[in-house]
A and B are shown apart, each in its own frame.
Chain A
Amino acid sequence: MDHRKSCYLALSLLIASATTQARADGETIAVFTKNQTNPFFQTVRVGADNMAKALNAKILHYIPTKPDSIPEQLSQIEDVVVKKPSAIVFTPVDYKAMVPGVEKINDAKIPVVNITDRSAGGKFVSFIGADDYSLGLETGRFLLKTLGGKGNVVIIEGVKGSLTNVDRVRGFNDALKENPGAKLLASQPGNYQRLQALQVMENLMQSNAQIDGVLAANDAMAVGAIEALDGANRKALVIGINGTKEAIDAIKSGKLLASGDYNGFAQGCLGTMMAIRSLRGQPVIAEIVLKPTVITKDNYQPFDVSLEQRTCPSFEDASKLGAK
């Protein structure tokens, strides 16, 4: 946020910021994320930065200039392999298409930790991620429980074919199966986009007089759906996934019922931690799948702090967070 404030004062700092890279004497960790636009990946990056600071390492961020561009992330991998960072923390823009990239990293013998989306191939020091299926299932269950196990529900899907979307929607559907009293009216894609979700919701409200619950595959779409409901003066319970700041605010004000915590901050922290630990010859945890937490009006307080103020979990915490 302070980044933005400074900008509000002087837009011309653009070039200056280019030269203010944090310097550290320790290892160089290259962190790959999918895009610069989705708030979730910002939480990942801040987590990684925090952990690196604590462990005295240096972070370099690699983000495709076109959001989620496969060829660009592949090019970035090729460029980074030349640069030979000490280790890599890697979120594939596509879990299948990036496999050749991971293999390139493996060939260069650079240790790599996989976070967020589980890559379909390649060798990793560790995997840190959340369980999209359980997130979908748990948030879905929470919504249906609040509805009393019945009512009309719609699903707003993310980008078709993306790993997160497939699992989250599967979770939603399984939660619906457990509650035969609830009826699924429609399942339409909003491509993880706010505006599209809003328009999809507006259109769905036209063909469905009564909608009681909305299961959105991410927070931006959930908030878009809420705006659509507000615009039409209709009420429905809405849940999202990711636990972004925006979602926390909406939960606080009672607009959003709940959000599944995807915990990008912890993913960034732990990914970086595992990378550095492996470089330093310390034991690492091969796989951490963060347990799903449903953030609701009752438990949002710990999440309602700015990213910079959050602290990374310790290694001991990490083993408790969901080691298998």
Chain B
Amino acid sequence: MSDVAKPAPLPQWSFLSQNAAQLFYRLLAAFLICLVLSVLSESFLSLGNILNVLRQASLTFFIASGLTLVVLTAGLDLSVGANVALSACLAGTVIHQTGSPVLGILTGLAAGGTVGLMNGVMVTAMRIPSFIATYGMLWVLNGVTYWYMAGETIHGFPAGFRQIGSGYFLGLPIPVYLLLVFLAIGSFFAQRTTWGQEIYAIGANPVAARLSGIPVNRRLLLVYTVSGTMAGLASIIFLSRLNSAEADIGESLTLPAIAAVLIGGTSLFGGVGTIFGTFVGSLILTLVLNGMNLLSINANWQPLVTGIIVIIAVWLDMKTRRPTA
């Protein structure tokens, strides 16, 4: 096999596991969508709408950023949506019962993290493929949430709490700040910490990573817990933004989050991708939906358009991917 040492073009950056060209195409795509929309709809380029897009992208991004870490290890977490629903309902109850938003937030994060940890345990200790383990978890979470909520809605939260999702600071919505903060933290974690590097190594070759002295199982537990906690965070934003929660809020969140990760250039085979890419992916997805709303396009076209975008994004990846052995 190695008879012919093919000299191949060198990747642009080595320690960022995604090369600049791919990121460039992705940003270009986002820019082109913006350009087309601004021509078609005059209200698109208004500051209000741009903030609007960012705020809507933030919810997808929170879920998708945690999911990115899971996908980097060549895993998948199908339970994130159901996790958001359960965490939101629990957090909402705690706020109602105790009147303390802080306790509520902590409950949401802890619930999300616990579910993530359980996913991690199934994947590591019980050695169930992540795809199936989290699918099972999805049903279990739905069951618990349905039973717990019994068809009710939790609504009406203190004004202070509601600021998180709908408030403004210096003219920008607070979720946008949170988005930027978590984008920075996530990128820093993935690129500039040894744990992040180990996660990339695990995704690229779990056996080699283990035999290089990386505690693979502990890192996987961490990754699934972080993914769950990010779902918990999303549940808080959701709760605060909509001022209410019910059992079915998670259903429509999982597939867009996965799509955002994929559009962002993270490979399902693990080891390749960035949090920033996922941010751009969330942005592209939100831009398209925003555009369809602004142009009053029939919502029936939405799944079709999303599907086409996923294909184009991944196809672009194939064209610009770093050469393989």
- Chain A residues 198-232 with CB under 8 Å of chain B are 198-200, 202-207, 220, 223-224, 227, 230-232
Give the residue among B94, B241, B242 with the most A Cβ atoms within 10 A: B242
Flag if B155 contacts A203 (CB, 8 Å): no
Q: With an 8 A cutoff between CB atoms, is A17 at the interface?
A: yes
Report Cα–Cα, A17/B150, bound state, in Å. Answer: 12
Chain A window 52-81, contacts with chain B (Cβ cutoff 8 Å), 1 for yes, 0 for no: 000000000000010100000000000000
Q: With an 8 A cutoff between CB atoms, is B200 at the interface?
A: no
> Which residue in chain B gives the minimum CB-CB distance to A233?
B168
Flag if A227 contacts B243 (CB, 8 Å): yes
Report Cα–Cα, A202/B39, bound state, in Å. Answer: 20
Query: How big is chain A's contact interface, by range?
Result: 35 or more
Residues in A with CB closer than 8 Å to B55 are 202
Out of B139, B150, B289, name the residue touching A4 (CB < 8 Å): B150
- Chain B residues 142-160 with CB under 8 Å of chain A are 142-144, 146-153, 155-156
Chain A window 30-52, contacts with chain B (Cβ cutoff 8 Å), 1 for yes, 0 for no: 00000111110110010000000
Flag if A203 contacts B247 (CB, 8 Å): no
Flag if B242 contacts A198 (CB, 8 Å): yes
Flag if A37 contacts B246 (CB, 8 Å): yes
Flag if A220 contacts B246 (CB, 8 Å): yes
Flag if A186 contacts B152 (CB, 8 Å): no
Out of A41, A65, A188, A227, name the residue touching B166 (CB < 8 Å): A227
Q: Whole-angstrom distance from the CB of A202 to the nearest CB of chain B?
A: 5
How many residues of B are counted as interface, with CB atoms below 8 angstroms from the partner's CB atoms? 48
Given contacts A8-B93, A244-B153, contact A194 B52 (CB under 8 A): no
Q: With an 8 A cutoff between CB atoms, is B124 at the interface?
A: no
Report Cα–Cα, A245/B166, bound state, in Å. Answer: 23
Residues in A with CB closer than 8 Å to B144 are 11, 14
Residues in A with CB closer than 8 Å to B290 are 203
Q: With an 8 A cutoff between CB atoms, is A280 at the interface?
A: no
> Which residue in chain A gives the minimum CB-CB distance to B144?
A14
Flag if A39 contacts B152 (CB, 8 Å): yes
Residues in A with CB closer than 8 Å to B150 are 3-4, 36, 42
Give the residue among B97, B153, B248 with the most A Cβ atoms within 10 A: B153
Flag if A195 contacts B249 (CB, 8 Å): yes
Residues in A with CB closer than 8 Å to B251 are 67
Flag if A39 contacts B296 (CB, 8 Å): no
Q: Whole-angstrom distance from the CB of B33 to the nearest CB of chain A?
A: 15
29 examples of A-B residue contacts, CB within 8 angstroms: A4-B149, A8-B93, A11-B144, A17-B147, A36-B151, A36-B247, A37-B149, A37-B247, A38-B151, A39-B153, A39-B246, A42-B150, A42-B152, A65-B139, A65-B142, A65-B143, A160-B300, A193-B248, A193-B252, A194-B249, A195-B59, A195-B249, A198-B242, A202-B56, A206-B44, A220-B153, A223-B244, A227-B243, A245-B153
List the 5 closest pairs (A to B, CB-CB), nearest first: A42-B151, A37-B248, A203-B293, A206-B49, A231-B166
